[in-house]
Amino acid sequence: MPTAEREISRFQVFLQQQGLKLTSERSALLREIFETHYHFEADELLFRMKEKNVKISRATIYRTLELLVKSGLVRRVHLGEDHYHYEHVRRDSHHDHLICTTCGAVIEFHDPVLEARQLEICAKKRFTATFHNLQILGVCDACRRKGEQPDAPDRVKMIQVGALNLRK
């Protein structure tokens, strides 16, 4: 469903509020982001734009991503361990991530009970939360079935290999 138009107009409103302009580069990027699913990285975006013969510089990508994060249309998430990852925000559907350290799979989930408890904790500490970020690292069902090595040294090696996989 290539309906990035709604998001583009939301972005335009945001830009106008800040006295900024909607350029062709910005809308091209937004279109690319909202036509793709799930998570992406800044350099991946640069590559995809090049592939489509849309000329756009790295600086502009980073600058636009910053604006998109501020506008709330895109969210920065920590997935693997490395650098930033981004995900577009369709509605206000917040979710967290289970990350398989063996195959790198990312499973999204949303749990109202968890969210509510977090707010309770913040209230107790007189902390005004604006955002949170939860990753649970471990082994997904598929990977667990494949390799069932129980002893300690092997497990360490497995984590090592998993980390490498994560870095793509």
Partner DNA sequence: CTGCAATTGAGACTCTGTCTCAACTAGTGC
Partner DNA sequence: GCACTAGTTGAGACAGAGTCTCAATTGCAG
Give yes or no for residue 160 binding a copy of itself (CB under 8 A). Answer: yes
- Which residue lies nearer to a copy of itself by CB, 118 or 149? 118
By a kind-dependent CB cut-off of 5 to 8 A, residue 56 interacts, out of DNA, a copy of itself, none, with: DNA
Give yes or no for residue 59 binding DNA (CB under 7 A). Answer: yes
Strand arrangement of the beta sheet that strand 85-88 belongs to: 39-40, 85-88, 74-77
- The span from the CA of 133 to the CA of 37, in Å, is 19
Which residues in the 87-106 window bind a copy of itself by CB under 8 A? 98, 100-101
User: Using alpha carbons only, how large is the chain's radius of gyration in Å?
Assistant: 19
Applying CB under 7 A, among 3, 5, 13, 23 the residue interacting with DNA is 23
Q: Which amino acid is at 100?
A: C
Q: Which residues contact 81 (CB under 8 A, 6 or more apart)?
A: 163, 166, 167
Give yes or no for residue 50 binding DNA (CB under 7 A). Answer: no
Asked whether the CA dihedral 96, 43, 21, 36 is positive or negative, the reply is negative
Binding site for a copy of itself (CB under 8 A): 17-18, 70, 76, 78, 81, 84, 98, 100-101, 107, 109, 111, 113-114, 117-118, 121-122, 125-141, 144, 152-153, 156, 159-160
